[in-house]
Amino acid sequence: MAAPTSRPLEYLEGLPGGIFLQLYKQPSTALAIFRRMLPDLAKCFVMALLYLKDPLPTADLEIWVKAESKKQRDNALSILGRLHILSTTRTENNARAYMVTNPFASSLRQALTGSEDTQSFGVFSQVPDQSTITVSDLDEYARRQWEGVLGYMVGTSALSGRDSVNLSKGVRQLLQAGNLVDIRDRRVEITKDGFGFVLQDVNTQVWHIMILYVESAQSLGMDSVEVLSFLFLLSSLELGQSYEKKHLSSTQLQTLANLADFGIVYQETPEATRFYPTRLATTLTSDSSALGNPTSGSLSGPESGGASSGFIIIETNYRLYAYTSSPLQISLISLFTNLKYRFPNLITGKITRQSVRRAIEMGITAEQIISYLMSHAHPQLRKHNAAHSTSNTIQPSVLPPTVTDQIRLWQLERDRVRATAGFLFKDFNTSAEYDAPCRYAAEIGVLVWKSNRKRMFFVSRHEQVAAFLRDRAVGK
C-alpha cells in the first residue's frame, strides 16, 4: 500500500542530497525507507533494479508499465528520484538508463540478505532481564506516556489527577517549539496546530513529534542525521525484545533518553543497560498502523485491547455515546460535542451546531472531527454499516451520513462569503473595447467574474490585463 502518512515523506524530500548519502549508509534506514515511503510500483522498480549489474535503459523500464498506468509510473519514478534512490545515467550505447544509487543499493542488499555483523538493526540483550517485561507492559507504558503528552496539551492532567505523567522539560519545550502549545503565564494553552494534532491518528502524531525532534536535534547539540537514522533503526526493532545499549553512541543514548519520555522506548532506569522499543517505535515504518491500529486501540482505553476497538456510537439524531473513561478521550470529544452525562464507563452528549462551531473557531476542521469519529467508531456501527451497505454503493460511510454532512455544512456556514482579492475593470465605453481585454483575461486564466451588460470584469491579477489595455491604447 502507498505510504499513508505523507508528512515524513515531505520532510525527507526537503533534505539536501548529501544527507541522503549519509542516511543510506545504514541498512536499517534503507530498509525503513523502502518499506514505508515508497508506493508499491516504486518498490517493484527498486527490487527489479537492485541486483542488476548494469543500468537499465529507461525505454525498457517504461514498457513494464501499461500505457494507462503512466501516471502511477511517473509518480513512482518521481518519488524515487526525489528520495535519491534512483538516478539516471547513460548506458554504453548512450541511451538514458536508470540505476539504484549507492549506498542505498548496497545497504538495502545488506538489509535483505543480512550479511556482515553491523549493528544497524540493534543488538539483542543476551542476558535475560531480571524483571520480565511483556508486550502488554510495554503497550501500557507507551499508552500512559503518550496519553500524558496529549493530556498535557489538552490540559487534562490537571483534571484527572490520577496516574498523571511527569513530563520532562525537553518534552514540554519540544511541544512549545513545534507550536503545538503556547505557554502564557505558566498556563498551557493549546494552539490551532495542536488541536489538529491531537485529533490525528497516533502514527501521524508520532511522526510529527519525531520530525520536530529531529529538527531541534541540532540545537540540543546532536547530529540530526544520526538522530534520524537512529529513529529508523528503532522502527525496525522487534517488539518485546530488549536491546543492548553499550553499542550506542552518545548521541543515540541521549536520543534514547528523550524518546523514553514519549513512551517510544522503555528503559527501567536511565542507567539501565538495555532498552525495549514500544509499539509506538515499531509501527513507525510499518504498514500495520494506518486505521484501527493496535496502538490507537490500546491508547483508546486501558481495558480495550482488540485491534478495532472503537468506542464511539453516533446516532442519526446527533447523539453521541462514547464508551470510555479516559480523561484524554473525554476532553477530545468535548472539543466538538456538548457532553451531557458521564457514567463510569460511558459519556453521552450531542453534536450540535454550537459545539461544532466552537470547535471550528478553535481551528479544528470538519474533516478532522469526522476522521476522528470515523477512526474511533464502535464496532457496532461498523457492523450495522456492513449489514446495510449493498455492494454497489460508493464507499459506504461508517457514520450516519446525515451527521457527517451536517458537520460539513456547519463548517461551510462560517464561510458565508467567498472573497477573492483582485481588481475590477470598469468604465469601458464600447462593448468592443470591453470584449477584447475580457476575453484576454479569460484566456490567461485570471478572470473571476464578468458582466457583459455593465461592461465590467473582475480579475485576480491585473498586470497582464493592464499591459494588454496599454498596448491597445498605443496601437490606436
Partner 1 sequence: MPRAVKGLLIECDPSIKSMILKYDEERRDYIVEDLDDENHLVIKESQLENLKMRLDKDLDEKIMQLDESESE
| Cβ nearer to partner 1, comparing 247 with 454 | 454
| Cβ nearer to partner 1, comparing 394 with 417 | 417
Minimum distance from residue 458 beta carbon to partner 1 (Å):
5
HSE (CB half, 13 Å, CA atoms) of 22? 14
Please report whether residue 428 would count as binding partner 1 according to CB under 8 A. yes
Please report whether residue 462 would count as binding partner 1 according to CB under 8 A. yes
Please report whether residue 422 would count as binding partner 1 according to CB under 8 A. yes
Q: Which has the closest alpha carbon to 327: 145, 138, 158?
A: 158
- C-beta of residue 235 within 8 angstroms of C-beta of residue 210: no
**CA distances for 302 relative to 12, 163, 305, 315, angstroms:** 35, 12, 8, 25
- The C-alpha angle with vertex 276 and arms to 273 and 280, in degrees rounded to 5, equals 145
Minimum distance from residue 430 beta carbon to partner 1 (Å):
10
Residues near partner 1 (CB under 8 A), total: 32
Segment interacting with partner 1, rule: CB under 8 A, options 93-101, 160-168, 366-374, 411-419: 411-419
H/E element, 297: helix 294-300
Q: Which amino acid, one-letter code, is at 430?
A: T
Please report whether residue 427 would count as binding partner 1 according to CB under 8 A. yes
- C-beta of residue 336 within 8 angstroms of C-beta of residue 356: yes
Minimum distance from residue 442 beta carbon to partner 1 (Å):
15
Please report whether residue 416 would count as binding partner 1 according to CB under 8 A. yes
Residues 307-366 that bind partner 1 (CB under 8 A): 350, 352-354
Please report whether residue 476 would count as binding partner 1 according to CB under 8 A. no
Please report whether residue 405 would count as binding partner 1 according to CB under 8 A. no
Segment interacting with partner 1, rule: CB under 8 A, options 143-151, 230-238, 384-392, 432-440: 432-440
Please report whether residue 470 would count as binding partner 1 according to CB under 8 A. no
Residue from 96, 342, 383, 426 binding partner 1 (CB under 8 A)? 426
Q: What is residue 377's DSSP assignment? A: B
| Cβ nearer to partner 1, comparing 2 with 456 | 456
Minimum distance from residue 466 beta carbon to partner 1 (Å):
6
Strands 346-350 and 456-459: unpaired
Residue from 59, 158, 412, 424 binding partner 1 (CB under 8 A)? 424
- C-beta of residue 272 within 8 angstroms of C-beta of residue 152: no
Please report whether residue 433 would count as binding partner 1 according to CB under 8 A. yes
Q: Which amino acid, one-letter code, is at 165?
A: V
Please report whether residue 425 would count as binding partner 1 according to CB under 8 A. yes
Strand partners, 87: 99
HSE (CB half, 13 Å, CA atoms) of 324? 27
Strand partners, 274: 244
Please report whether residue 35 would count as binding partner 1 according to CB under 8 A. no
Q: Which amino acid, one-letter code, is at 327?
A: P
Measured distance CA(225)–CA(383) in Å, rounded: 46
Measured distance CA(409)–CA(398) in Å, rounded: 18
Please report whether residue 442 would count as binding partner 1 according to CB under 8 A. no
Please report whether residue 456 would count as binding partner 1 according to CB under 8 A. yes
Minimum distance from residue 423 beta carbon to partner 1 (Å):
5
Based on its alpha-carbon atoms, the radius of gyration of the chain, rounded to whole angstroms, reads 27
- C-beta of residue 455 within 8 angstroms of C-beta of residue 449: no
Please report whether residue 449 would count as binding partner 1 according to CB under 8 A. yes
Please report whether residue 384 would count as binding partner 1 according to CB under 8 A. no
Q: Is 191 helix (H, G, I), strand (E, B) or coil?
A: coil
Residues forming the site for partner 1 (CB under 8 A): 350, 352-354, 414, 416-429, 433-434, 437, 448-449, 451, 454, 456, 458, 462, 465-466, 469
